[in-house]
Structure 1
Amino acid sequence: MLKSFDIYSQNNVMKIVVALNLLLVGTGSLLFTKRIINRLEAREEQYMRLYAKALAYAIETADNNENLNFIVTGIIETNENNAIPAIYADEHLEPAQCRNIEFPDNMTGEEKHTYLKEQIQEMRKNHPPIVVDLKDGEKGLIYYNNSLLLKQLSYFPFALLAILSALAVLAYLSFSSSRRAEQNRVWVGLAKETAHQLGTPLSSLLAWVDYMRTDPDHYEAEVTDEIEKDVQRLETITARFSSIGSIPTLTDENLDEVVTQFTNYLARRISTKVKMSVESNLPTTLMVRINRLLFEWVIENICKNAVDAMAGVGELRLRLLPLPNDEVAIDITDTGKGMSKSSMSKVFSPGYSTKKRGWGLGLTLAKRIVEEYHNGRLYVKSSEIGKGTTFRIVLNREPGALPDVPVVRKKRPSLLTLRGPKKMS
């Protein structure tokens, strides 16, 4: 039964604490701000009702219209909170007086009158008018809007949310960066230590190979040669681990030749039921700057992952092709079980694996080598459940036009499917 695990999936207590604190601070601030806004709105409404009562009383005691206009103007202008925009109008919505209304520049008297009527319509949407009881059953109306202070305060929750969101993003990036740095230190330390530990037995094995060559009567030369190849392979692996954490040296290599030679080696050490092939649409003279040891490791990890996905039976195709923008690609396609979209998004995560045995580090290493050391890209180009998966490696090449390659130059599955041991050492 397949299983998935992630050795880094344990909850980070600090992240949870920070997230909860941000949530509590944000929720408390929003509730407190909302409470203040409601109180200020109620207070401004209370002011306006008080003005309406004062205005009604003044009108009842006024002797004439001239005194009435003077009183109306005085009441509005002596408004304790004179930042509240207010308009006094009659029953027919004809404005008589206004306060704290900002008119556009260069308006005529008639244009100002029209503008006030438009403002009355806007104010009616925000607050119901305050009724002013006049003489003989007539009524006046006071329309008002929120003060500038209250408007600014109403935007505060949105500003607070933006600030808290920015803090949350910064906290996440900080934790993620710290976690990646910690993982990198672990990776580099583990790689260096592995290379160091392999050094001693490798020296011993090389000595045994030399000893076996001195006694050809007891040890067949072919067996000794194969042992020496595997010891050399271990030396290559040790060199790879030593390169992790250091800036690798990139040299101009013939990508076609590198891939072909390594897959020839690889085909002898995987299941004989896997048919491998290499197709190339690249010019024979094309050179790409890579670190050969590390790049072969990338090919190996992807191919071994593909063989596991096919359970040791199927077809593995490697295709080299040019891309626009001075890039080349290597597509590695298997006929395995394929991946779901969720698996595609996690396949390069450290520790993710769908195998019962394995650490889930091969593809993570491959991606790091391609993207951090070769400034390229490695991703899942396509995958379909039950049909297979295609990984794509993209590398930069020297700028310039490439000569046309009208036909695929190589397709040699017979060369690459020689029989040998079923598994790599």
Structure 2
Amino acid sequence: MLQYWLNWKTLIALIALLIISGTIFYSNYLANKIKLDEKIKIEQWAEAVKSNASNQITDNNLSGRILSENSQDIPIIVVSEKGIVLDSRNVDSTRLTDPSYLKRKIDYFKSLHTPIEWNNPLDTSQKNIVYYGESHLLNEVRYYPIVQLIIVGLFLFFLVIAQRTAFQNNQNQLWVGMAKETAHQLGTPVSSLQGWIEMLRTIPGNEKIVTEIEKDTKRLLLITDRFGKIGSIPTLEATNLCTQIEQMIDYIKKRSGGNVTFELICTDYNLQPKLSPALFDWAIENLLKNALDAMEGKGRITLQIKKVSKLIYIDITDTGKGIARKNFDTVFKPGFTTKKRGWGLGLTLTKRIIEQYHKGKIFILNSHVGKGTTFRIILPG
């Protein structure tokens, strides 16, 4: 899948690069050609102006036609040596009386083209200067590659989003399929075990055995229920958060040994966010087991619950080996694990439970290698 995606990404990037490169090259070619053509037109226009000024020819002759045709779309300002505006075309003539506007326009035109100068035929001691800019057509050709670059960029953006969405949908379908199949596969042997438990009850002397088997069977039923809920949309109900977490701490504490200390700090025992108890317990269990593995059987786990505004914060802190900052995002991806056994799905499931089913957030608040880690869960209050 990775190789397939990389191949497609490379091919799309190359096609986009070729399109953009070809467009920029051709647009520059056209822009230079139009620029040269406009320069010739302005030079002809200037000659026509001189001809009319010296010979007093009317607009019906060749010079007049050049004057009217060669400046149809090109902005022009003609000034005397003293800076007096003599003529203008395709600019806001009403603002040319403003010295600052006139200076900005002239400076801009000078940055684009070398001005054309000629001696005033009526007064040879005076020079007239023609400043000119670029036509709308030239600007459109010049900015066309930028527009196309934006279009290609948007195309690539939406293509990547579509590919990512399709990949996530495939992942979700895989998750649902695996969860449903696991729940189905567990259902039959668990039902059989429940039947055997009832048979064992009828035999005197098996009371202790039945009790222990019944505990394990209930655990298997809980796991089956969890996988069944993963494959569907769970029903959320108002649940006492502190009590729910306290029960999970008690369950983990019995299986953690005597060298691990648990502390629950709950500032408000009346917090009742909407939860799926079975799935939420699974998320907390995964985090606590992850903390136990990080501490290697000894240390301290602290769970702090508090409400700020309309959000509930749950911080789970351990004194384990910590997580390198480069792995802060990676730990939630499928397959990431530092243990010799396991599939690396615990934190992935936890993230899915908190964010997709409970509309919350989970992330590493802080972690220091050799000192410990704090995971933070944020739930809507």
Question: Structure 1 residues 116-125 or 41-50, which shifts more?
Answer: 116-125
Corresponding position: 1:129 with 2:115: yes
1-structure distance, mates of 2:225, 2:360: 22
Pick closer, same or farther for the CA change 1:116–1:256 going to 2, 3 Å.
closer
Contact 1:254–1:287 (8 Å) recurs in 2: yes
From the superposition, tell whether residues 117 and 276 of structure 1 become closer, same or farther in structure 2 (CA, over 3 Å): closer
From 326, 333, 348, give the equivalent of 1:342: 326
Please name the residue that 1:119 is paired with: 105
Deviations along 1:352-389, one digit per CA (max 9) or x if unpaired, are 33334332221121122122222222222222222111
How far apart are the structure 2 equivalents of 1:117 and 1:72? Answer: 33
Q: Per-residue CA shift, 1:14-49, capped at 9, x if unaligned?
A: 344333333332332233222222221122123223
The superposition leaves residues 38-68 of structure 1 with CA deviations (integer Å, 9 ceiling, x where unpaired) of: 2211221232234445556x37x935xx569
Which residue number corresponds to residue 218 of structure 2?
232
Structure 1 counterpart of 2:290:
305
Aligned partners of 2:305 and 2:315 also within 8 Å: yes
Query: What's the TM-score, normalizing by structure 1?
Result: 0.78
| 1:29 maps to which of 23, 32, 46 | 23
Confirm whether residue 176 of structure 1 aligns to residue 161 of structure 2: no
SS at match of 1:194: helix
Helix, strand or coil: the match of 1:257? helix
Q: Within 5 A, what are the aligned runs for 1:280-291? A: 280-283=266-269, 285-291=270-276
Letter in 2 for 1:35: Y
CA-to-aligned-CA distance 1:376-405 (integer Å, 9 cap, x gap): 2222222222211111222233xxxxxxxx
Alpha-carbon spacing, 1:389–1:117, altered in 2? closer, same or farther (3 Å): closer
Please name the residue that 1:62 is paired with: 54
Quote the offset at 1:240 in angstroms.
0.6
The aligned counterpart of 2:303 is: 318
| Pairwise CA distance, 1:128 | 0.9
1:378 corresponding residue in structure 2: 362
Does the CA contact (< 8 Å) of 1:93 and 1:117 recur in 2? no
> Conserved in 2, the CA contact under 8 Å of 1:72 and 1:97?
no
3-state SS in 1 of match to 2:332: coil
Amino acid at match of 1:18: I
The structure in which a higher percent of residues are helix is 2
Ranges in structure 1 where 5+ consecutive residues have no aligned partner: 1-7, 398-425
Give the TM-score, by structure 2 length.
0.86
> Aligned partners of 1:329 and 1:113: how far apart in 2?
63
Instruction: Note if 1:267 corresponds to 2:257.
Output: no
Which one is further off, 356-365 or 225-234? Answer: 356-365
- Does 1 or 2 have the higher relative contact order (CA < 8 Å, sep 6+)? 1
Q: Is the 8 A contact 1:76 1:99 kept in 2?
A: no
**C-alpha separation in 2, matches of 1:139 and 1:252:** 88
Structure 2: distance between partners of 1:287 and 1:371: 18
Counterparts of 1:139-218 in structure 2 under 5 Å?
140-217=128-205
RMSD (CA atoms) = 3.1
The one-letter amino acid of 1:225's match is: T
The equivalent position to 1:86 in structure 2, one of 76, 80, 95, is 76
Q: Please give the alpha-carbon distance, in whole angstroms, between the structure 2 residues aligned to 1:375 and 1:114.
A: 58
Letter in 2 for 1:163: I
Residue in structure 2 matched with residue 359 of structure 1 by the alignment: 343
SS in 1 for 2:77: strand
The answer to whether the 8 Å contact 2:45/2:67 transfers is no
8 A contact 1:319–1:331 mirrored in 2: yes
Cα contact 2:183–2:225 (8 A) shared by 1: yes
SS of corresponding position for 2:328:
helix
Letter in 2 for 1:102: D
Please point out which of 363, 375, 380 is paired with 1:391.
Answer: 375
Q: Is the partner of 2:268 in helix, strand or coil?
A: coil
Q: Distance in 2 between matches of 1:353 and 1:37?
A: 58
What's the CA shift string for 1:263-297, capped at 9, x where partnerless? 211222235433223222223x4433211111110
Work out the CA distance in 1 between the residues paired with 2:295 and 2:2. Answer: 27
Distance (whole Å) between structure 2 residues aligned to residue 71 and residue 312 of structure 1:
103
Q: Is the 8 A contact 1:62 1:68 kept in 2?
A: no
Confirm or deny: 8 A CA contact 1:41 1:146 kept in the other structure: yes
**334 and 83 in structure 1: CA distance in 2 versus 1, 3 angstrom threshold:** same
Q: What's the offset of the Cα at 1:205?
A: 2.6
Partners of 1:10 and 1:187 lie apart in 2 by 22
> Structure 1's 183 and 54: CA in aligned 2 closer, same or farther, altered over 3 A?
same
2:137 and 2:227 mapped to 1: Cα distance?
64
Q: Does 1:40 align with 2:34?
A: yes
Distance 1:24-1:216 versus aligned 2 partners, 3 A rule: farther
